[in-house]
């Protein structure tokens, strides 16, 4: 099993992680913040873009993955009803806006104008596949 494991310690690293989680889907219940531990976790079903990239590739797959952020000071959300734990979110991108270095904000931007904003001391993130792959019915498309 070729599982993905990435670490992001700066904005360039985070862009690579973002590319790998683009079009991941999760439920609202999969978003978890531990204020005491300064830790934010997102369990997701990510689309495996690194296998779907070939011109002749016909296999579309997803894998269960976990995206962790450490050194998180606070979490805010917009456009997400946290009481509706079964609602499905589709992740579009993860981006960083610098503050007083090395601090800043990490935005998880979802379809439907939903966002989770993490106030972080610095970028410290990990993405890891945690299970086998399964065939996806379709490949996400991005139309203008």
Which pLDDT tens digit goes with each residue over 53-97?
555 556 788 999 999 999 999 999 999 999 999 999 999 999 999
Q: Poorest-confidence range of 27-31, 53-57, 114-118? A: 53-57
In a domain, 141, yes or no: no
In a domain, 144, yes or no: no
Looking at residue 50, what is its pLDDT? 80
* Coil, helix or strand at residue 55: coil
Q: Is the pLDDT of residue 111 over 70?
A: yes
In a domain, 86, yes or no: yes
In a domain, 138, yes or no: no
Structural domain span for residue 43: 5-53+60-133
In a domain, 142, yes or no: no
Could you count the other beta carbons within 10 Å of the beta carbon of residue 107?
16
Residue 49 has φ and ψ, to the nearest 5°, of -65, -30
Could you count the other beta carbons within 10 Å of the beta carbon of residue 29?
12
Q: Is the pLDDT of residue 46 over 90?
A: yes
In a domain, 16, yes or no: yes
In a domain, 119, yes or no: yes
Predicted structure pTM score: 0.90
Per-position DSSP letters for 90-135, written without gaps between them: EEEEEEEEE-STT-EEEEEEETTTEEEEEEESS--EEEEEEEEEEE
CA 69/CA 80 separation, integer angstroms? 19
Look at the chain and report how many structural domains it folds into. 1
Q: Determine the longest span between alpha carbons in the chain, in angstroms.
A: 48
């Amino acid at each position: 099993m070729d599982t993905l494991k990435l670490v992001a310690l700066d904005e360039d690293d985070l862009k690579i992680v973002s590319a790998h989680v683009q079009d991941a889907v999760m439920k609202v219940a999969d978003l978890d913040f531990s204020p005491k531990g300064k830790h934010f976790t997102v369990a997701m079903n990510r689309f495996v873009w690194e296998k779907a990239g070939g011109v002749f590739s016909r296999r579309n797959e997803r894998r269960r993955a976990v995206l962790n952020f450490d050194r998180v000071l606070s979490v805010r959300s917009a456009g997400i009803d946290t009481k509706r734990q079964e609602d499905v979110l589709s992740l579009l991108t993860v981006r960083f806006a610098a503050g007083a270095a090395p601090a800043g904000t990490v935005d998880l931007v979802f379809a439907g104008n939903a966002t989770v904003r993490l106030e972080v001391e610095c970028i410290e993130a990990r993405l890891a596949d945690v299970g086998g792959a399964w065939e996806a019915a379709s490949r996400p498309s991005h139309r203008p």
